[in-house]
Structure 1
Protein backbone atom coordinates (compact mmCIF):
# COMPACT_ATOMS: atom_id res chain seq x y z
CA UNK A 1 0.00 0.00 0.00
CA UNK A 2 1.36 3.36 -1.01
CA UNK A 3 1.30 5.83 1.90
CA UNK A 4 1.90 8.93 -0.22
CA UNK A 5 -1.41 9.00 -2.06
CA UNK A 6 -2.17 12.74 -2.17
CA UNK A 7 -1.28 13.78 -5.71
CA UNK A 8 -0.08 17.31 -6.50
CA UNK A 9 -3.50 17.99 -8.07
CA UNK A 10 -5.35 16.83 -4.94
CA UNK A 11 -2.88 18.77 -2.80
CA UNK A 12 -3.72 21.89 -4.82
CA UNK A 13 -7.44 21.42 -4.20
CA UNK A 14 -6.69 20.98 -0.48
CA UNK A 15 -4.56 24.15 -0.52
CA UNK A 16 -7.28 26.33 -1.98
CA UNK A 17 -9.80 24.86 0.49
CA UNK A 18 -7.39 25.41 3.37
CA UNK A 19 -6.73 28.98 2.29
CA UNK A 20 -10.43 29.72 2.31
CA UNK A 21 -10.84 27.96 5.65
CA UNK A 22 -8.02 29.93 7.24
CA UNK A 23 -9.71 33.16 6.16
CA UNK A 24 -13.23 32.25 7.29
CA UNK A 25 -12.84 29.89 10.29
CA UNK A 26 -11.51 32.46 12.78
CA UNK A 27 -14.77 34.40 12.47
CA UNK A 28 -17.02 31.33 12.57
CA UNK A 29 -15.19 30.02 15.65
CA UNK A 30 -15.03 33.44 17.35
CA UNK A 31 -11.27 33.24 17.76
CA UNK A 32 -9.46 36.06 19.48
CA UNK A 33 -10.30 35.47 23.15
CA UNK A 34 -6.63 35.46 24.11
CA UNK A 35 -5.44 37.82 21.35
CA UNK A 36 -6.84 39.39 18.20
CA UNK A 37 -3.67 38.19 16.51
CA UNK A 38 -5.23 34.71 16.55
CA UNK A 39 -7.73 35.97 13.99
CA UNK A 40 -5.45 38.00 11.77
CA UNK A 41 -2.54 35.55 11.58
CA UNK A 42 -4.99 32.97 10.29
CA UNK A 43 -6.52 35.35 7.74
CA UNK A 44 -3.10 36.43 6.47
CA UNK A 45 -1.97 32.79 6.37
CA UNK A 46 -5.01 32.00 4.23
CA UNK A 47 -4.09 34.78 1.80
CA UNK A 48 -0.51 33.47 1.71
CA UNK A 49 -1.75 29.92 1.01
CA UNK A 50 -3.74 31.23 -1.95
CA UNK A 51 -0.73 33.17 -3.24
CA UNK A 52 1.61 30.19 -2.91
CA UNK A 53 -0.97 27.96 -4.59
CA UNK A 54 -1.28 30.30 -7.54
CA UNK A 55 2.51 30.16 -7.95
CA UNK A 56 3.08 26.42 -7.40
CA UNK A 57 3.79 24.01 -10.23
CA UNK A 58 0.57 21.99 -10.11
CA UNK A 59 -2.68 21.73 -12.03
CA UNK A 60 -4.71 24.68 -10.70
CA UNK A 61 -1.84 27.15 -10.65
CA UNK A 62 -1.54 30.45 -12.44
CA UNK A 63 2.23 30.89 -12.93
CA UNK A 64 3.91 27.65 -11.79
CA UNK A 65 7.13 29.22 -10.52
CA UNK A 66 7.43 27.31 -7.21
CA UNK A 67 8.39 23.64 -7.66
CA UNK A 68 6.04 21.25 -5.84
CA UNK A 69 8.88 20.10 -3.55
CA UNK A 70 9.51 23.74 -2.64
CA UNK A 71 5.82 24.14 -1.89
CA UNK A 72 5.97 21.15 0.46
CA UNK A 73 8.94 22.77 2.22
CA UNK A 74 6.90 25.96 2.65
CA UNK A 75 4.06 23.89 4.08
CA UNK A 76 6.42 22.38 6.65
CA UNK A 77 7.58 25.85 7.71
CA UNK A 78 3.94 26.87 8.12
CA UNK A 79 3.18 23.76 10.19
CA UNK A 80 6.12 24.37 12.51
CA UNK A 81 5.16 28.04 12.80
CA UNK A 82 1.58 27.09 13.69
CA UNK A 83 2.92 24.81 16.44
CA UNK A 84 5.07 27.60 17.90
CA UNK A 85 2.71 30.60 17.53
CA UNK A 86 0.47 29.79 20.51
CA UNK A 87 3.49 29.58 22.83
CA UNK A 88 5.23 32.62 21.38
CA UNK A 89 2.16 34.86 21.43
CA UNK A 90 0.47 33.53 24.56
CA UNK A 91 -2.59 32.07 22.86
CA UNK A 92 -4.76 29.96 25.15
CA UNK A 93 -7.91 27.90 24.87
CA UNK A 94 -9.53 27.68 21.47
CA UNK A 95 -7.03 30.13 19.97
CA UNK A 96 -4.14 27.78 20.78
CA UNK A 97 -6.03 24.60 19.89
CA UNK A 98 -6.95 26.07 16.50
CA UNK A 99 -3.30 26.58 15.55
CA UNK A 100 -2.19 23.20 16.89
CA UNK A 101 -5.00 21.49 14.98
CA UNK A 102 -4.05 23.28 11.74
CA UNK A 103 -0.38 22.42 12.26
CA UNK A 104 -1.29 18.76 12.66
CA UNK A 105 -3.40 18.78 9.49
CA UNK A 106 -0.59 20.39 7.48
CA UNK A 107 1.95 17.85 8.80
CA UNK A 108 -0.36 14.98 7.80
CA UNK A 109 -1.09 16.38 4.33
CA UNK A 110 2.61 16.95 3.63
CA UNK A 111 3.55 13.49 4.87
CA UNK A 112 0.91 11.90 2.62
CA UNK A 113 1.69 14.00 -0.47
CA UNK A 114 3.41 12.28 -3.36
CA UNK A 115 6.03 14.24 -5.25
CA UNK A 116 5.55 14.55 -8.99
Structure 2
Protein backbone atom coordinates (compact mmCIF):
# COMPACT_ATOMS: atom_id res chain seq x y z
CA UNK A 1 0.00 0.00 0.00
CA UNK A 2 1.47 3.32 -1.11
CA UNK A 3 0.84 6.10 1.40
CA UNK A 4 2.20 8.77 -0.94
CA UNK A 5 -1.13 9.88 -2.36
CA UNK A 6 -0.54 13.63 -2.70
CA UNK A 7 0.18 14.21 -6.38
CA UNK A 8 2.35 17.13 -7.50
CA UNK A 9 -0.81 18.92 -8.69
CA UNK A 10 -2.55 18.44 -5.35
CA UNK A 11 0.67 19.49 -3.63
CA UNK A 12 0.58 22.68 -5.71
CA UNK A 13 -2.94 23.42 -4.50
CA UNK A 14 -1.72 22.88 -0.94
CA UNK A 15 1.25 25.19 -1.58
CA UNK A 16 -0.81 28.13 -2.78
CA UNK A 17 -3.32 27.59 0.04
CA UNK A 18 -0.50 27.42 2.60
CA UNK A 19 1.12 30.55 1.18
CA UNK A 20 -2.13 32.46 1.60
CA UNK A 21 -2.60 31.02 5.08
CA UNK A 22 0.91 32.05 6.14
CA UNK A 23 0.16 35.60 4.98
CA UNK A 24 -3.24 35.94 6.65
CA UNK A 25 -3.30 33.62 9.69
CA UNK A 26 -0.86 35.59 11.87
CA UNK A 27 -3.23 38.57 11.80
CA UNK A 28 -6.39 36.51 12.29
CA UNK A 29 -4.84 34.61 15.20
CA UNK A 30 -3.31 37.67 16.83
CA UNK A 31 0.24 36.34 16.69
CA UNK A 32 3.07 38.46 18.03
CA UNK A 33 2.39 38.29 21.77
CA UNK A 34 5.86 36.94 22.51
CA UNK A 35 7.61 38.57 19.54
CA UNK A 36 6.65 40.59 16.48
CA UNK A 37 8.97 38.23 14.60
CA UNK A 38 6.22 35.57 14.90
CA UNK A 39 4.06 37.62 12.54
CA UNK A 40 6.68 38.74 10.05
CA UNK A 41 8.47 35.39 9.80
CA UNK A 42 5.16 33.83 8.74
CA UNK A 43 4.48 36.59 6.20
CA UNK A 44 7.98 36.27 4.73
CA UNK A 45 7.61 32.50 4.55
CA UNK A 46 4.21 32.87 2.85
CA UNK A 47 5.78 35.06 0.16
CA UNK A 48 8.62 32.54 -0.25
CA UNK A 49 6.07 29.71 -0.62
CA UNK A 50 4.38 31.60 -3.47
CA UNK A 51 7.75 32.22 -5.13
CA UNK A 52 8.85 28.59 -4.82
CA UNK A 53 5.46 27.42 -6.11
CA UNK A 54 5.67 29.63 -9.17
CA UNK A 55 9.15 28.22 -9.88
CA UNK A 56 8.43 24.51 -9.28
CA UNK A 57 8.11 22.04 -12.14
CA UNK A 58 4.46 21.06 -11.62
CA UNK A 59 1.15 21.77 -13.32
CA UNK A 60 0.24 24.89 -11.30
CA UNK A 61 3.55 26.67 -11.90
CA UNK A 62 4.58 29.32 -14.40
CA UNK A 63 8.36 28.98 -14.73
CA UNK A 64 9.09 25.28 -13.94
CA UNK A 65 12.70 25.81 -12.84
CA UNK A 66 12.83 23.83 -9.56
CA UNK A 67 12.39 20.04 -9.90
CA UNK A 68 9.55 18.73 -7.74
CA UNK A 69 12.03 16.70 -5.66
CA UNK A 70 13.94 19.93 -4.99
CA UNK A 71 10.69 21.58 -3.96
CA UNK A 72 10.09 18.75 -1.46
CA UNK A 73 13.59 19.34 -0.05
CA UNK A 74 12.76 23.04 0.38
CA UNK A 75 9.50 22.08 2.13
CA UNK A 76 11.44 19.80 4.47
CA UNK A 77 13.81 22.65 5.30
CA UNK A 78 10.80 24.89 6.02
CA UNK A 79 9.32 22.25 8.34
CA UNK A 80 12.57 21.93 10.29
CA UNK A 81 12.88 25.73 10.47
CA UNK A 82 9.32 26.03 11.77
CA UNK A 83 10.05 23.36 14.39
CA UNK A 84 13.07 25.23 15.78
CA UNK A 85 11.79 28.81 15.27
CA UNK A 86 10.09 29.03 18.69
CA UNK A 87 13.37 28.11 20.38
CA UNK A 88 15.52 30.31 18.15
CA UNK A 89 13.29 33.40 18.34
CA UNK A 90 11.84 32.93 21.84
CA UNK A 91 8.26 32.39 20.70
CA UNK A 92 5.88 31.35 23.46
CA UNK A 93 2.19 30.51 23.77
CA UNK A 94 0.14 30.77 20.57
CA UNK A 95 3.20 31.99 18.66
CA UNK A 96 5.10 28.76 19.39
CA UNK A 97 2.06 26.52 18.89
CA UNK A 98 1.42 28.13 15.48
CA UNK A 99 4.92 27.25 14.24
CA UNK A 100 4.91 23.72 15.70
CA UNK A 101 1.51 23.06 14.14
CA UNK A 102 2.68 24.32 10.74
CA UNK A 103 5.88 22.26 11.01
CA UNK A 104 3.82 19.14 11.64
CA UNK A 105 1.55 19.83 8.66
CA UNK A 106 4.50 20.46 6.32
CA UNK A 107 6.27 17.27 7.51
CA UNK A 108 3.08 15.29 6.77
CA UNK A 109 2.57 16.85 3.34
CA UNK A 110 6.18 16.08 2.38
CA UNK A 111 5.90 12.51 3.70
CA UNK A 112 2.66 11.89 1.79
CA UNK A 113 3.70 13.55 -1.50
CA UNK A 114 4.42 11.36 -4.52
CA UNK A 115 7.30 12.72 -6.58
CA UNK A 116 6.08 11.20 -9.85
CA UNK A 117 3.62 13.05 -12.07
Runs of 4+ in 1 over 3 A off after TM superposition: none
CA distance in 2, matches of 1:80, 1:60: 25
Give 1:109 shift: 0.2
Q: Which residue of 1 aligns with 2:23?
A: 23
Indicate the residue corresponding to 1:98 in structure 2: 98
Aligned residues: 116
2:34 is matched with which residue? 34
1:110 aligns to what SS in structure 2? helix
Answering whether residue 65 of structure 2 is matched by residue 65 of structure 1, we say yes
Deviation, 1:3, is 0.1
CA shift for structure 1 position 59: 0.4
* Partners of 1:44 and 1:77 in 2: CA distance: 15
Distance, in Å, in 1 between the alignment partners of 2:59 and 2:14 is 12
| Cα displacement string for residues 71-106 of structure 1 (whole angstroms, at most 9, x for unaligned residues) | 000000000000001001110000000000000000
Q: CA deviation at 1:17?
A: 0.1
Residue 2 of structure 1 corresponds to which residue in structure 2?
2
CA apart distance, 1:2: 1.8
**Does 2:15 match 1:12?**
no
Q: Counterpart of 2:84? A: 84
Unaligned runs of 5+ in 1: none
SS in 2 for 1:51: helix
How many angstroms apart in 2 are the aligned matches of 1:23 and 1:64?
23
